[in-house]
Amino acid sequence: MLRRRVLSAVVVLLASAGSLSAQATSANGQPQTQEVAKATTPARDPVDLKLQEALRERDAIIRNLLERVNELEWRMNGGFTTPAKVDERPTLPAASTSRVINSVVSTSTYDSTERQATEALDQALIVRGGLLLPSGTLEVDNTTSYFSASSDHVTVNGFALLPVLVVGDIASERIREDYLLPNLTARLGLPHKLQGDVTIPYGYELIRTVDANNVQTSSSSFGLGDISAGISRQLTSEHGKIPDMLASVRFKSTTGKDPFNLQSSQIALGTGFNSIQGNLTMAKSSDPVVFFGNLSYTANLKGDHTVSANDPNNPAATMVGHFNPGDAVGFQIGSILALNPEVSMTLGWDQRFTRSTTLNGVDIPASYLVEGTLRLGTSYVYAPGKTIDLSFGVGLTPDTPNLQFSVGVPFRMGLWGPKQKKLDVH
């Protein structure tokens, strides 16, 4: 809609320039003999000077409008809204033409209010993978998450295969787990509707255990988690009934301290297995709401680790265990509501199913997971390019942390901008 308005503005400008030319011609309508006589006069006709000045002003406005059309196309092809500088508008000498041009510019200007109207919405979608950054835009997101989980029957001398899975001898004990996980994520918009990102988790974990004799023990760990990286591609842009559709692939490494060969007082900050995850995200707007959905599949790669042989005659004996972590399938649905240009709210549901993990071809008991989380969130744009993102989650299945809370402070900067279209005006 806005693009059609801008293009129609260019047409009206050309028509107004033609009208001005006709007025100038009418004003100069003298017999040919008189024009020849005046040709030798060095002084130029004031009407001609006004006409040339008006044409120069017209050309400048056309260039400005076409640059805005180019910027609008950049935004529509995976971009987001940022405040725009308001250009100074020239005052044309011809009063009638000036009124026409100023009227067109005022109705088609890509002003800052219009561009900021969906900034909070855009940020919420970017964080949730439903929108890409424009090419040349770098966003650094520092998010700190807190997780709280509890269980009445978990292992003490086991090992964690997944963040919420502990495998080992089950004891009649109560465990309280608290996680504080700062994540530093860098996203970079790339040409051809691509985006790359890297996430570096660096967290603190505290586990408190109360046994059957009401004796409490604590253990904690602080360090680097599993670094992950991904790349996203926008497949379609929203038009008509077709939603925005994005695909992404992520790889998770094993840089964090894995759960194998740990001392009894140590806690793992990584899973010990590489994984590859594929995502398909769709978003459809219905002003002022955006509905989004996500499908994901995570392939946890096999690995060999040294584990206890569980030999009662030799407690120190170990063996090489061949692990096959179960793959996971998940989905996410939700909506984002723009309350005003600076604030948006999110309501969503996350669900994930993880197949059982096998050790030497045998399923590990209780390793099949069903995770479900109800999420509420809000994004607040407190300055151009700066946002605060809050998220609150409640686990509604036994395999999910009871409470999740995240605070993100992303900020962005432009490394390079879109290529401008050249316009030759004669």
Domain boundary among 71, 97, 116: 116
Judgement on whether residues 31 and 143 belong to the same structural domain of the protein: no
Q: Is the dihedral of CA 41, 47, 50, 56 positive or negative?
A: negative
Structure tokens at 168: 């080992």
Q: Which domain holds residue 111?
A: 2-116
Which comes out higher in pLDDT, residue 169 or 417? 417
Instruction: Please choose, from the candidates 305, 295, 250, the residue with its C-alpha nearest in 3D space to the C-alpha of residue 276.
Output: 250
Q: Are residues 234 and 367 in the same domain?
A: yes
What is the domain count for the chain? 2
- Do 123 and 57 belong together in one domain? no
Q: Which two tokens stand for residue 11?
A: 């047409």
CA distance 362 to 353: 19
Instruction: Indicate whether 37 pLDDT > 70.
Output: no
Whether residue 325 sits in one domain with residue 224: yes
Among 116, 149, 183, where does a domain finish? 116
Looking at residue 384, the DSSP 8-state letter turns out to be T
At 53, list the tokens: 């000045």
Q: pTM for this structure?
A: 0.68
Quick one: 110 and 148 in the same domain?
no
- pLDDT (tens digit per residue) in 75-98: 555 444 444 444 444 444 444 444
Do 387 and 238 fall within a single domain?
Answer: yes
Higher per-residue pLDDT: 358 or 312: 358
- Top mean pLDDT of 259-273, 301-315, 392-406, 409-423 is at 392-406
Is 421 part of a structural domain of the chain?
no
Strands (DSSP E) found in 133-273 = 137-151, 159-162, 165-167, 174-190, 194-210, 216-224, 228-236, 244-252
Mean pLDDT of the chain: 75
* β-strand partners of 242: 239
Q: Domain containing 180 — which CATH number?
A: 2.40.160.40
CA distance 75 to 300: 36
Q: Is 361 left (phi over 0), alpha (psi -120 to 50) or beta?
A: left
Of residues 116 and 296, more confidence is placed in: 296
Q: From 83, 116, 149, give the residue that closes a domain.
A: 116
One domain, residues 161 and 180: yes
- In a domain, residue 264? The reply is yes
Q: Does 16 map to a domain?
A: yes
pLDDT digits (tens, 9 = 90+) for 42-85: 555 667 777 888 888 888 888 878 877 776 666 555 444 444 44
